A and B are shown apart, each in its own frame.
Chain A
């Protein structure tokens, strides 16, 4: 027999203190978290705490979100992804409400957090997770409102059932009004790649998302079409997108939620060759004797489609035996944290005439064998006004409302999990 899905929720910070608890059924003692703490202390890194921990009477399913653990207590069989996905939704909602989802912001808004959790879950089963519905039930805190509320005694809590809750489009509230009607789309593509030592591409693919910020009056029905929809290999949609239209016509037809949301995520067909925007020349070596190493990394433009590469940051997890670095960079600044052994080189904009280079020596612990593997370089970058896959939005049409909205599309390419093995 199954009982509640999610029995209780504990929020735990990275120093293993419980700072919030909520129970949807009978109270589960905090001591259940001891099992979590045990796993936590075993794990070398918070990311290594197993998401599912069985205990004698319960199961703990947790997520790690910006230095906070959300630990759900489960008593019975449940789909683990169900809980994980829900916890992420909770964290996203907090972020949406308070601007950030951190221990401080949660502690500052304990009551709203509690009210939200109460609405999001009933008897351990998700009730309302759409942010539009929640915002009608519980208004997000603003400074002005909290001042007004203290004076007038009015409340943050709506007393009518949100219209979305009953409609077949729960993501949109009724009666939206704007004086400037705007619809903006951001096409963001990320290149995931693994480049091997010799500079050849082991694996590369492009993942993209279209984020929308829609501020339109009434009930607009939008249709977004692409110049080259064939590029899209695998897609997933916000529930507002009509899947059948996509299947048959390859257009995105939807009644949008109000505000910002992720319209779709996609994967670009792997048959297309992926343009790698930068190349890296590297020479990292550790000498067996003398307790030092050499570090020399240069970055240059490769296939940038004539655009400038910006926001380049190179992150390197140096081996534990490295004590300190003595490097000079031609561009940007670098920092090295001797505790975490993370070297961050913030280059910024790339100048193709004068390639950025970081060079120098690494001082290492003596008497310890040299590390076998060279560290890999993780690269972040950004190219404005370019979707590296070549995807282009063709047009946006609006039906159902009379006014002319202001429309805009922005493209940007970033490096996703872009790793260079050295």
Chain B
């Protein structure tokens, strides 16, 4: 195994240390002899009884170590003091021990018993540091002792000790890889730990020991996502990097449609998504038929929970999130990272260096992302050269038709810089801009030609090389430039430039028939003194001229070939021999010589000037390998997206106890959060017990309102006892108490009601049979998604199995637990009503609570909103009838996809089908007669539509938040038609995800005039739940806001043009009536929306 050898290498390195090292430090040579004497007095001091003397001695020894001097002969004297009472002496002894134990294994063993004692110390700091030192002593004999210590520490009460245990795991692993299996067990255990302190360290251990065991992450995935924001910064980096890899194996590519359909990415992206909703199946054949992409809620969870970390002060964290977004987020969302990355450019130059490398790679793939920040990459004369060159790279990547003139103006300033390496890089950058952007090619070329008269040879040489590449693209027009360059051969000495000129003249000798032979003449003169690359080009030139201009150059060419024949360099001799055979065949003439002209003067493809950062993104961004553009040792390949998503249920099913109560699990984490901080996580090791007993109490209690009162009491008690004087807690508690007083009875009532309704559902859906106890699950089930239904079956199976064990647990589980744990149980028990508790936390929460709310959102509300529009609700409208259109029929629908070229526009998917006998050509939009403010982004012209064929395109219309129709002319090659698109009010918005709290808060701002509400009588009372939700989301492009009650439905969206919030509340009252309320700043929209929703619900 590689560790073994790596380890041995290390050892080899260290044992050979000592003496030779002194060579580096001349000063130490002199003191060396006296060191021995001084060591004697150090030994004396260490043997004394006085701590102060010992300390002094240890300090001097440590200083020696720090300076890299050998102090190994003091080992016996030092190791005696390992049990010293003085903490500082002890620490310094530890430092010494860790440094030299490997070299003096036998003596080191003497100290082991002290550490073993330390492991049992009541002081957690001492336990932890004993474990740290014990695991840092690289002595193979003590591996079993280390193993035991780690296992014990992994279940220690103190999270700090558990963290230390996590740190010890890789140490032991590198010492003895045989222990892997046992260590994985410990890792598995620690991964289940719920304290933020441990999370980062254990993931680090995981990455080092068993990064391939991705299965260990499944059941901890959501927890890690949710804890992330409270983990210390270094842990965050490790976790984010690991989760990036995890997500790549578990979720589907959010940009899959785009990447599969290749070039016409954007069009296809929309097209294929909307496919499903159409009635007309035939037309689907036009585009690749795929299942619509629906993001896994867990994928979304990861993206959402990492996003706030872009605001971290730690550059490594920001970079980690940025690479996560780059590798995992849908194309439309990646943009958020640009701002944060640009911010990092203000940091130290080393940080800038790394960030710029990554920006350079990203800017190739996603140019639009950094375009707004173009000016942030402008170069200052004080930047270090390596930074300048990287900025230049980014600027070149960002160049396009619109900004090229500004960029070239900047480049002009750079060319005059005193930093010549930088000037050379600028010239290359100009060359790349010229190749990429045709419009400026001539301008660039002229600029470069001017540089040929620059005084600095390096600049001229670089220009020649770049000009050569540019000329190759269109040589005919530039014979004067070639002539100009031919003159340069007299002055330019840089070999690369000379070689380039000669190549150019040879290649295009027909354009400069008079000059070329003369150049060869001059070159023949200096041949012997030229560099090798120049000689090779002289040979080339000679050969080409011999073929095209035999009369003038025959003798010259032969002369040159003869010179080359006796050259020192065998490459040149070879080349000469080769050329001679080809062009001046002996005797009968080789067959090849007929083709000599073709061989030498074949048309050569123009070189592609491309960024050195191209394709670097196959390395995980932010990694060392990416930076070096070479695989570093231990680099974990970033896996490709799977074709089919692995079973998403692994993340909730793995732990059987949790299957039924995924929502409770979340709730529980929410509850436990306060404990991370103070009650130093007894919750950690006992965590599985928690969940079980929680289950138990849950099913036991059912409806006892009395008991829930009790709980809340004891809960705040336990908080009291845990107080370490943290203010945050106090306020939270106060408010909570208030809520409990008012809300307790209500909560238990809700509780009952929830149960009842769940029972009802059970009756309603005997087919699914799975007795879905929580509401969320049932709503996902009913959302009719294909993918879900598969997992549903398996869910149902497992649930059936679980049923009996679950009820057994009720009686069994609580008993074996100790009493103190019952306290925790009660905490967890609080309940189904907890969503109502959360508003309170808003005052104090460190962001976690809202995050957790978000979690419930992903599970329940997200899936219906994301799925339903794609399935049920896409309604086709007629734009042009077959008869009026003379065979061309046009339909459109609102695809509800974001229109990426302009976020303010509504994406309208237009479908053309040609029902006539003839081809329809040049289908396009013209003469838009729009209301003021309205804008249309037309689709690219459809060139030909064959008879019987159909095509689908996407266009964007900014309706300015009004339902006024957009009128325009639809033209074909023969005719034009006046058509208009009028949007239903519900299509003028895009969904907004928000929590219940945010919703209520926003609603508070939109009262009075901005609130419109209407009542309605429903047809059937049993269908008020998800069906209503579906109807509403099909009537308008809204997203559901998660909410605790099943009588209220909330939806949120914002209008596309102005971004005003649209908040919809549907409350079912009594039996059959419901009230629809819309809060929106735009009253017209509100009024119309209410009508539309009423209509949708009542149908």
Contact = CB atoms under 8 A, between A and B. Distances in A.
Nearest to B384: A47
Contacts of B1058: none
Contacts, number: 330
B14 to A, nearest CB: 4
A79 B676 contact: no
B88 interface: yes
A305 interface: no
Interface stretch (B61-69, B466-474, B484-492, B685-693): B61-69
A142 to B, nearest CB: 16
A48 B174 contact: no
Contact of B125 (A153, A160, A371): A160
Interface string A399-422: 111000000000000000101010
A243 B317 CA distance: 15
B313 A238 contact: yes
Nearest to B89: A155
Contact of B313 (A114, A196, A262): A262
A19 B68 CA distance: 8
Nearest to B459: A372
Contacts of A157: 87-88, 91
A202 B313 contact: no
Nearest to A115: B91
A153 B847 CA distance: 46
Given A25-B10, A123-B170, A255 B727 contact: yes
A101 B820 CA distance: 50
Contacts of B52: 150, 153
B55 interface: yes
Q: Determine which residue in B319, B627, B850, B1001 has the highest number of CB atoms from chain A within 10 A of its CB, and name it.
A: B627
Nearest to B681: A166
A273 interface: no
A237 interface: yes
A123 B21 CA distance: 24
A26 interface: yes
Contact of A84 (B86, B92, B158, B354): B354
Contact of A79 (B128, B167, B319, B413): B319
B811 interface: no
A248 B1001 contact: yes
A125 B201 contact: yes
Contact of B622 (A20, A79, A86): A79
Contacts of B87: 155, 157-159
Interface stretch (A49-57, A323-331, A381-389): A49-57
Q: Determine which residue in B208, B339, B625 has the highest number of CB atoms from chain A within 10 A of its CB, and name it.
A: B208
B24 A30 contact: yes
Nearest to B229: A243
Interface bracket on B: 35 or more
Given A79-B241, A80-B624, A150-B52, A243 B727 contact: no
A372 B416 contact: yes
A419 B380 contact: yes
A47 B376 CA distance: 20
A18 interface: yes
A219 to B, nearest CB: 4
B570 to A, nearest CB: 30
B382 A417 contact: yes
A111 B727 contact: no
Q: Determine which residue in B66, B416, B680, B725 has the highest number of CB atoms from chain A within 10 A of its CB, and name it.
A: B66
Contact of A373 (B308, B382, B417): B417
Interface string B683-727: 000000000000000000000000000000000000000001111
B348 interface: yes
A257 interface: no
B68 A18 contact: yes
B171 interface: yes
Nearest to B346: A207
Interface in A74-108: 74-82, 84-86, 88
A30 B65 CA distance: 13
Interface in B2-51: 2-3, 6-7, 9-11, 13-14, 16-17, 21, 24-25, 50-51
Interface stretch (A168-176, A294-302, A346-354): A168-176
A174 B340 contact: no
A421 B413 contact: yes
Nearest to B211: A2
Interface in B52-104: 52, 55, 59, 62-63, 65-68, 86-89, 91-92, 94-95, 99, 102
Contact of B343 (A166, A234, A238): A234
Contact of B88 (A22, A156, A202): A156
Interface in B446-486: 454-455
B99 to A, nearest CB: 7
Contact of A118 (B95, B208, B381, B635): B95
B384 A174 contact: no
A163 interface: yes
Interface of A: 1-4, 17-23, 25-31, 44-45, 47-48, 50-52, 54, 57, 59, 62-64, 74-82, 84-86, 88, 110-111, 113-115, 118, 122-123, 125-127, 129, 150, 153, 155-161, 163, 165-170, 174, 194, 196, 202-203, 205, 207, 218-221, 233-239, 242-245, 247-248, 255, 262, 265, 267, 317, 319-320, 369, 371-373, 375-376, 378, 399-401, 417, 419, 421
Closest 8 CB pairs of A and B: A400-B727, A168-B677, A155-B88, A76-B634, A26-B10, A373-B416, A153-B52, A244-B847
29 contacts: A26-B11, A26-B102, A29-B14, A29-B17, A50-B386, A57-B9, A59-B624, A63-B348, A63-B350, A76-B632, A78-B624, A79-B237, A79-B622, A81-B315, A81-B316, A85-B314, A118-B91, A155-B87, A167-B677, A167-B726, A168-B196, A169-B726, A205-B376, A235-B311, A237-B312, A244-B845, A244-B846, A267-B343, A417-B380
Interface of B: 1-3, 6-7, 9-11, 13-14, 16-17, 21, 24-25, 50-52, 55, 59, 62-63, 65-68, 86-89, 91-92, 94-95, 99, 102, 123-126, 128, 132, 135-136, 138, 158-160, 164, 167-168, 170-171, 174, 196-197, 201, 204, 207-208, 211, 229-230, 232-234, 237, 241, 308, 311-316, 318-320, 339-340, 342-343, 346, 348-351, 353-355, 375-376, 378, 380-382, 384-386, 410, 413, 416-418, 454-455, 622-625, 627-628, 630, 632-636, 676-678, 680, 724-728, 730-731, 842, 844-847, 850-851, 998, 1001
Given A3-B3, A319-B418, 4 more contacts: A17-B25, A63-B350, A155-B55, A262-B313
